[in-house]
Structure 1
Amino acid sequence: MKITMTGVENIPREGGALLAINHLSYVDYVMAGFPGERQGRLTRFMAKKEVFDHPVGGPVMRTFKHISVDRSAGLESMERAESALRAGEVVGIFPESTISQSFLIKDLKTGAVRIAARADVPLIPIVLWGTHRIFTKGRKVDLSRHQRIGIEVGEPMRPTGEDPVAETAELRSRMESMLERLILAEEDRPEGAWWLPQKYGGSAPTIEEAAAAYAEERRLRAQRKAAKRKAK
């Protein structure tokens, strides 16, 4: 792979820092750890509880001391992240919560700015581009050679927590600008490419189309769970 990184110096060499990362693929946990590693830092990622429940992924996540996020008990996960940050660790969070199937920046949860404010650490946006071409939702794994990955580390924010909605909007705006730079830096943008957002000439779903598909997916998942409970 050809991995291009910019802004790595924005990650402090010591002290706590929260990294807010966009979510394109199942390999983002690996790629988003590279900038910190360049600064001599290891990143503890927050990931949904289901990953930790997986027979293969679970032991790996626990061994590397990543942070399980139980969506039914979000406060506990936030407190664990805050504790790690106060102890001087680097923590990674995906504020979109799920993979963006439009490959643009989705609405962000306010948890990132609230955690950073409560732990009194910098919130550093990181945007990835190209990871979805390796392994993303609804697509087969592509491990062919010469994949190009772009990673931009933005300037740190210092959320106060006084207005989490406004501060989250600022975070999203910064991440959108970073993503656009990475996309436009990609010379190969074939018309109609599945991995390219529509606004840049590709055929990926719009944010609205992706949101509707995700809502339907959640509805069907809830329906299946209810049917299983009824069968018992």
Structure 2
Amino acid sequence: MRDLTEKRGWAFDVGVVILKPVLLATTRRRWIGGENLPETGGFVIALNHISHLDPLTAAHLVYDHGRLPRYLAKSGLFKNKALGTFLRAAGQIPVERESSGAVGAYAAAVQAIHDGKCVVVYPEATITRDPEMWPMRGKSGAARIALETGCPVIPVGQWGAHEILPPYTKKPHVVPPREITMRVGPPVDLSDLVDRERDASVVNEATDRIMAAITHQLELIRGQEAPVERYDMRVQGDRFKRGRK
């Protein structure tokens, strides 16, 4: 654990006062490898996505190690006036999927890295659809930010949040407190890719390395091997959406 050195601002002050006591009361935390989180400077932290609770537990991990998280968040969250004001004050970055607004989000994330911030990215972009909850095929955002800035990408495998708030449910299970495990790996080695022309093959290779590193951390937590082929919604579809029909 480390003491926070960044200035929090009012939004983080409010968030810490309200949310941290709730997380402390409803979870048991097992942070592994936290020394791999940089103490200073900009970096991307890339995690697997298993629950809508993930942003809170990831924030807890990052905050406990002396940093403040900045998220690439769905733009719809910013449309609520009060919530949007809070998110912007906390330095969060709105993302408009499949639109020109995504370019602005990428530029904002790159600038946040240059400003020495911690940018949290879920490369899957949505909760995993894998039947055993292994990481799916990743999208390129984390890789492109890292290749543009040369910043470290820190992979994190996490497990347990889905037991508190299962995917696409609204009622949390907080009694008894569930264990949240987050295992932080060393930076993903992208050094041989940073200076190469940023074509699709380079971005895809960087993305694959990031997803492999996240998956490896999750394998260590679960004591199991992930499937060789990652779940791909473009090929296998959205099993949650099929289940809701």
- Bin for the TM-score computed over the shorter chain: 0.7 to 0.9
Task: Please list, as runs of the form range in 1=range in 2, the aligned pairs for 1:172-211 lying within 5 A after superposition.
Answer: 172-184=211-223, 207=231, 211=236
Residue 169, structure 1, aligned to residue 223, structure 2? no
More moved, 91-100 vs 156-165? 156-165
Select the residue among 73, 76, 79 that pairs with 2:104.
76
Q: For residues 150 and 173 of structure 1, do their structure 2 counterparts lie closer, same or farther at Cα, with a shift above 3 Å needed?
A: same
Match of residue 133 from structure 1: 163
Which residue in the other structure is 2:71 paired with? 45
Match of residue 157 from structure 1: 188
From 144, 154, 166, give the equivalent of 1:124.
154
- What secondary structure is seen at the aligned counterpart in 2 of 1:82? helix
1:89 is matched by which residue type in structure 2? K
- Measured in 2, the distance between the counterparts of 1:149 and 1:215 equals 23
SS of the residue 1:32 aligns to: helix
* TM-score (structure 2 length as normaliser): 0.73
- Count residues in correspondence: 201
1:13 partner amino acid: E
Q: Displacement of 1:55 after TM fit?
A: 5.8
Gap regions ≥5 residues in structure 1: 186-197, 200-205, 221-232
2:84 matched to which residue of 1?
A: 58
Q: Percent identity?
A: 27
Structure 2 partner of 1:147: 178
TM-score, normalised to structure 1, is 0.77
Q: Answer yes or no: is 1:94 the counterpart of 2:122.
A: yes
Give how far 1:137 is off: 2.7
Q: 1:216 to 1:35 in 2, by over 3 A?
A: closer
Separation in structure 1 between the aligned mates of residue 148 and residue 68 of structure 2, nearest angstrom:
21
Q: Check whether the contact 1:8–1:39 (CA below 8 A) recurs between aligned residues.
A: yes
**Are the equivalent residues in 1 in contact too, given 2:137–2:232 (CA < 8 A)?**
no
Partner residue of 2:45 out of 19, 34, 38 = 19
Structure 1's consecutive aligned runs of 4 or more residues displaced over 3 angstroms after TM superposition are 54-60, 206-211, 214-217
| CA gap 1:6/1:64 in 2 versus in 1, 3 angstroms | same
2:94 and 2:204 mapped to 1: Cα distance? 24
Deviations 1:140-196 (A, max 9, x none): 3212222011101111124334411112111111111211221239xxxxxxxxxxx
Distance apart, 1:25 and its partner CA = 0.9
- Evaluate the alpha carbon distance shift between residue 214 and residue 70 of structure 1 in structure 2; reply closer, same or farther with a 3 A threshold: farther
Residue 29 of structure 1 aligns with which residue?
A: 55
For the aligned residue pairs, the C-alpha RMSD in angstroms reads 2.7
> Partners in 1 of 2:240 and 2:178 — Cα distance?
31
Q: Quick one: which amino acid aligns to residue 151 of structure 2?
A: V
1:178-218 CA distance string (max 9 Å, x none):
11221239xxxxxxxxxxxx98xxxxxx946895235956x
Give the direction of change, closer, same or farther, for the CA distance of 1:147–1:216 in structure 2 (3 Å limit): closer
Amino acid at match of 2:149: A
* Shift in CA distance, 15/52, structure 1 to aligned 2, threshold 3 Å: same
Contact 1:121 1:158 in 2 (8 A): no
What is the distance in 2 between the residues matched to 1:178 and 1:120? 22
